[in-house]
Structure 1
Amino acid sequence: MKALLELKNLTKNYWDTNEKNSRPFLFAHITATIQSPERIALLGKSGQGKSTLLRVLALLESIDSGEVRLKGLSTKDIDTRAWRMNIAYVAQQSVMLPGTIMDNLTTVSNLHNRAFDESSARCLMKDVGLEHLEWGKQAIDLSGGEKQRVALVRSLLLKPSILLLDEVTASLDQQSKEYVEQLLLKLHMEEATSFIWVTHDTEQAKKISERIWYMEDGKLTIDTKTKQFFENRNSVCSVTL
C-alpha cells in the first residue's frame, strides 16, 4: 500500500545568508511518512521553518532539495491544481477575497468548475459557529476571527484528504477555538481527513493530535506518538514551543 504522504530529505536554504544565521538552511533533511490518515501536531519554537514547511507541502514555496510524494506520486507527476485539491493550506493570517462571504465560499467551485455545494457550506459554517452571518455581507467587514473561520470553511469545501493548518485558531476566542477543533476531529473520524497542524498551544496539541513532529535547529528531531511525547519528562523539559 502506497503511503498517503512522503517527505524525503526536504531542505530549504535561507535566500540570503547573513551573520545572524547560525546555519545556512531554514530546515534540512526533513524526512517523514504518513502511511494512513493521521492527526499530526507540528511543534517547535519560532524560526524553525514550520510554516514554510507547510507552504512547501502545499506547493506555495519551492525547496532546494528533496521530494514530496502524494500516494506514491511526486509533485512533478501531478498537476498543481489537482495537488492543491488534495492538500489544502490554511494560513495563520486569513486572506479574504474581494466581495461578499458568498463570493469567498463559491471561489473553490468556480476555480475547479464544480457545482457549489450550498448544503455542505451551510453545515460547515454552522459547525464553526458562523451560521448567523448573512452571506451577502462584505468579507472585508468581518472580524479577524470570522475571517479565519470563513477561510477554513472555504478550504474545507475542497474536501481535501490532507489539511495543512498554520495556527488557525491562534486569533480565536475559546468557544470558536473549540468549534474548530471539534469540526476537524469530526472530519478525521468521519471522512478520514488528515491534518498537519502548527500550534504553540500544548493543550491543543494533546487534544487534537495522535502524533507529534517537533522541529529544532532546522531538523525534525522528534517524530513520535503524542502520548509518548508528553509522558516523556525529559522531552517536555527540553523542548520549547
Structure 2
Amino acid sequence: MAAILEIQRLAKHSWNQDNRESPYLFEEVSAVIQQPECISVIGPSGQGKSTLLRTLALLDMPDQGDISYAGISYREKDPRLWRKEICYVAQQAVMLPGSVEDNLGTASRLHGEVYDVQLAEQLLEETLLAGLDRKKNASELSGGEKQRIALIRSLLLRPAVLLLDEVTASLDNISARAVEHMLQQWQAREGTTMIWVTHDLEQAARTSSRTWFMSGGTLLEDQQTIDFFRQPATEAGRQFVRFLASEAAL
C-alpha cells in the first residue's frame, strides 16, 4: 500500500483566541494514511473531530503543520483540485438550489466531469432511495434523504479520499446499515480511502480497520481497530469506551 495522505504536526486554533491555557482546538496531529484504508475517528465532543476533517479537505486552513496528498503539500496544489480528490461529506447536508437530479449532477459538472446517471441510479438503489422522485425539489427532502444525496453527490466525483462526518447520524438502523454496506462495496471496487467520524462504537468496529481516538486536544491514540477496542492504550481511551458501552446498555 502507498501513502495517500501524510499529516505532520497539524494544529488548528481554538475559536476562543483569548484562552491562553488552550489556544488550540487540536495540535500535534500526525499520521500516515495508506490507500485504501478505512479509519474511524472517535472521541468526546469538543475535540475537533469535524474540524480535523474539514482541515484535511482545506475547507478550514491549517494554522500549523502540513498535509501532503500523494507526496504534494497542500501549499503547492490548487484547493479546488485538492477538494475534488479529498471530499468532505458533512453531517448536516447542504442541498443546492433545484431538484434532486440537479444536486446529484452539479458537483460533477462544476469539476468538468461527466454526470454518470447510471452510477447515480445504482447508488440510489444501494442506499434505499431507488423510489425517490429525482425531479423533487431537494429542499423538500428529509434529513436522512439529504444526507444520502450529499454522500452520493461526492461519490460521483470518485475521490481518492472520502471524509465522512457522521453521515449516518440521521438515518434509521436499516438505512444506516445499507449506507455502510454500500461504502464497503465502493471501497472494494474503487480503492477509496475513508476517514469516518462516528459516535457509534459498533459502527466503528464494523467498518474500520484503524481507529483514531482524539482527546486532550490531540490525536491521542492511533491503533488497529481490533487492538483499540480490545485494550485502549490510554486511560482516557479506556474511560471513553467504558462510558459509551454503559450508555449503549441502558
Verify same fold: TM over 0.5: yes
Query: What's the counterpart of residue 205 of structure 1?
Result: 204
Query: What's the counterpart of residue 9 of structure 1?
Result: 9
**Whole-angstrom distance in 1 between the partners of 2:151 and 2:70:** 24
Query: How much has 1:238 moved relative to structure 2?
Result: 2.4
**Whole-angstrom distance in 1 between the partners of 2:131 and 2:212:** 37
Amino acid at match of 1:92: Q
Q: Which runs of 5+ in 1 are unaligned?
A: none
Amino acid at match of 2:175: S
**Whole-angstrom distance in 1 between the partners of 2:181 and 2:74:** 31
* 2:131 is the alignment partner of 1:148: no
Contact 2:15 2:25 in 1 (8 A): no
Amino acid at match of 1:196: I
* 2:28 is the alignment partner of 1:29: yes
Query: What's the counterpart of residue 166 of structure 2?
Result: 167
Contact 2:35 2:192 in 1 (8 A): no
Amino acid at match of 1:12: K
Alpha-carbon spacing, 1:16–1:35, altered in 2? closer, same or farther (3 Å): same
* RMSD (Å), alpha carbons: 1.6
Instruction: Spell out, residue by residue over 1:194-237, the C-alpha distance to the aligned partner (whole angstroms, 9 max, x if none).
Output: 10000010000000000000111111110000000011167563
Q: Which runs of 5+ in 2 are unaligned?
A: 245-250
Query: What's the counterpart of residue 187 of structure 1?
Result: 186
Query: What's the counterpart of residue 113 of structure 2?
Result: 114
Query: What's the counterpart of residue 176 of structure 1?
Result: 175
Say how many residue pairs are matched: 240
Q: Secondary structure at the match of 1:239?
A: helix
Identity of aligned residues (%): 49
Contact 1:85 1:158 in 2 (8 A): yes
Alpha-carbon spacing, 1:233–1:52, altered in 2? closer, same or farther (3 Å): closer
Amino acid at match of 1:123: Q
Contact 2:34 2:193 in 1 (8 A): no
**Whole-angstrom distance in 2 between the partners of 1:190 and 1:110:** 23
**Whole-angstrom distance in 1 between the partners of 2:121 and 2:21:** 49
Contact 1:5 1:33 in 2 (8 A): yes
Contact 1:2 1:72 in 2 (8 A): no
Query: What's the counterpart of residue 239 of structure 1?
Result: 240
Contact 2:161 2:193 in 1 (8 A): yes
**Whole-angstrom distance in 2 between the partners of 1:234 and 1:88:** 31
Amino acid at match of 1:121: A
Query: What's the counterpart of residue 248 of structure 2?
Result: none
Query: How much has 1:22 moved relative to structure 2?
Result: 4.9
Query: What's the counterpart of residue 124 of structure 1?
Result: 123
Contact 2:26 2:48 in 1 (8 A): yes
TM-score scaled to structure 1, two decimals? 0.95
Contact 2:47 2:216 in 1 (8 A): yes
Q: Secondary structure at the match of 1:85?
A: helix
Contact 2:85 2:159 in 1 (8 A): yes
**Whole-angstrom distance in 2 between the partners of 1:234 and 1:109:** 43
Amino acid at match of 1:223: D
**Whole-angstrom distance in 1 between the partners of 2:232 and 2:152:** 37
Q: Secondary structure at the match of 1:140?
A: helix
Query: What's the counterpart of residue 55 of structure 2?
Result: 56
* 2:226 is the alignment partner of 1:230: no
Query: How much has 1:109 moved relative to structure 2?
Result: 2.1
- Deviating above 6 A after TM superposition, structure 1's stretches of 4 or more consecutive aligned residues are none
Instruction: Spell out, residue by residue over 1:125-181, the C-alpha distance to the aligned partner (whole angstroms, 9 max, x if none).
Output: 111110101110000111110010001000100001111000010110011101110
Amino acid at match of 1:239: F
Q: Secondary structure at the match of 1:105?
A: helix
